[in-house]
């Protein structure tokens, strides 16, 4: 009986959040270990379906870098690097489209539909809703310490997200599942970083929440303890102090872009934790870092 009562208490704790976010839009960047572990994949799909059933409008944007690398290797296509950065040439871009817009996207769609959701797979090429400019070059350091300008090939930076298609699908009860492939100035497909693509979609939709699923607990302080909340104005200071380092730097800057673009709150959570999405949104304590 005590176990049943505790379950009821969980529902009561979730109720004000369900009421507050009913008919609001959440954008979830789905990536990391949660995309490859079979149990976590099903857990994520169930969580997304639950959010939709309680009236929250959910949009999913996914990554897939490791899967692209595995497919290139399986096809015998050599990965090309310069200054430690991958070059996306035409042959690689074909594989990117096949993996992101094909196998990964449809796997996510299939899992959501399996648990009762109505999901639709998209890329930025659909209705040309996500446009980008090719990144001319980036500065990188070679193994011997030399700084070089690297042409990344068919890699883009988002310039425009037109929300009409997404809003129409969401209003009809669908969960859009978006692969981060955008359309360039000449109609060519461009590979876009999934975090920045998700942030751009969240800003364009004026989302109530943008959730970044990662393989770490969230943002840590100088003592390696989780920061449950973080104001946007504190982020650059923490970067300058060396508290936020390595791969977390682009993620928190991506969060800043989303907040600057009109997103109310950004959450960075550990997708390796089962039901992390629900625990962050529907509990008072949460499990990740909330940026506002």
Expressed in angstroms, the distance from the first to the final Cα of the chain is 39
User: Quick check: 145 pLDDT over 80?
Assistant: no
pLDDT tens per residue across span 268-290: 999 999 999 999 999 998 999 99
Alpha helices, H only, the chain: 2-21, 38-53, 65-74, 90-98, 105-114, 164-171, 194-204, 232-240, 248-260, 276-282
pLDDT at 2: 60
Residue pair 154/86 in contact by the 8 Å Cβ criterion: no
pLDDT at 5: 64
Domain ranges of the chain: 21-291
**Mean pLDDT, rounded, for 60-80:** 90
**Mean pLDDT, rounded, for 219-226:** 93
pLDDT tens per residue across span 164-198: 999 999 999 999 999 999 999 999 999 999 999 99
Percent of the chain at pLDDT exceeding 70: 96
pLDDT at 84: 61
**Residue 88 forms beta bridges with which residues?**
153
pLDDT at 124: 94
Mean pLDDT taken over the chain:
92
**Residue 123 forms beta bridges with which residues?**
179
**Of the candidates 113, 103, 106, 100, the residue with the CA atom closest to the CA atom of residue 46:** 113
Model confidence at 212, pLDDT cuts 50, 70, 90, reads very high
pLDDT at 4: 61
**Of the candidates 198, 207, 169, 255, the residue with the CA atom closest to the CA atom of residue 62:** 198
**Of the candidates 227, 219, 222, 114, the residue with the CA atom closest to the CA atom of residue 175:** 114
Instruction: Specify the higher pLDDT residue, 51 or 246.
Output: 51
What pTM value is reported for the model?
0.93
Strand pairing category for 209-214 and 181-183: unpaired
Model confidence at 260, pLDDT cuts 50, 70, 90, reads very high
Highest mean pLDDT among 79-83, 243-247, 259-263: 259-263
User: Quick check: 136 pLDDT over 90?
Assistant: no
**Of the candidates 261, 282, 151, 142, the residue with the CA atom closest to the CA atom of residue 210:** 261
Spell out the residues 6+ positions from residue 111 whose beta carbon is closer than 8 angstroms to its own: 41, 42, 44, 45
User: Quick check: 246 pLDDT over 90?
Assistant: no
Query: Can you give the C-alpha Rg of the chain in angstroms?
Result: 19
pLDDT at 186: 93
- CATH architecture group of domain 21-291: 3-Layer(aba) Sandwich (3.40)
């Amino acid at each position: 009986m005590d176990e049943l009562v505790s379950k009821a208490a969980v529902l009561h704790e979730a109720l004000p959040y369900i009421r507050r976010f009913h008919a609001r839009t959440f954008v979830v960047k789905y990536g990391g270990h949660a995309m490859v572990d079979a149990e976590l994949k099903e857990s994520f799909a169930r969580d997304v379906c639950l959010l939709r059933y309680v009236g929250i409008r959910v949009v999913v944007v996914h990554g897939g870098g490791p899967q692209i690398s595995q497919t290139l290797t399986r096809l015998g296509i050599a990965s090309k690097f310069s200054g430690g950065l991958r070059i996306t040439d035409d042959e690689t871009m074909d594989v990117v489209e096949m993996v992101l817009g094909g196998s990964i996207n449809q796997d996510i769609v299939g899992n959501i539909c399996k648990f009762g959701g109505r999901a639709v797979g998209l890329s930025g090429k659909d209705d040309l809703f996500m446009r980008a400019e090719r990144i001319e070059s980036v500065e990188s350091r070679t193994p011997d310490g030399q700084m070089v300008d690297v042409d990344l090939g068919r890699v883009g930076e988002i310039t425009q997200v037109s929300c009409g298609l997404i809003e129409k699908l969401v209003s009809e009860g669908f969960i859009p599942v978006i692969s981060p492939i955008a359309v360039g100035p000449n109609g060519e497909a461009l590979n876009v970083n999934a975090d920045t693509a998700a942030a751009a979609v969240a800003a364009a939709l004026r989302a109530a929440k943008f959730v970044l699923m990662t393989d770490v607990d969230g943002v840590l302080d100088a003592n390696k303890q989780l920061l449950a909340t973080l104001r946007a104005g504190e982020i650059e200071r923490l970067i300058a102090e060396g508290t936020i380092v390595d791969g977390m730097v682009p993620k928190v800057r991506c969060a800043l872009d989303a907040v600057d673009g009109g997103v109310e709150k950004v959450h960075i959570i550990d997708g390796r934790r089962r039901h992390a999405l629900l625990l962050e949104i529907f509990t008072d304590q949460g499990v990740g870092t909330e940026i506002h």
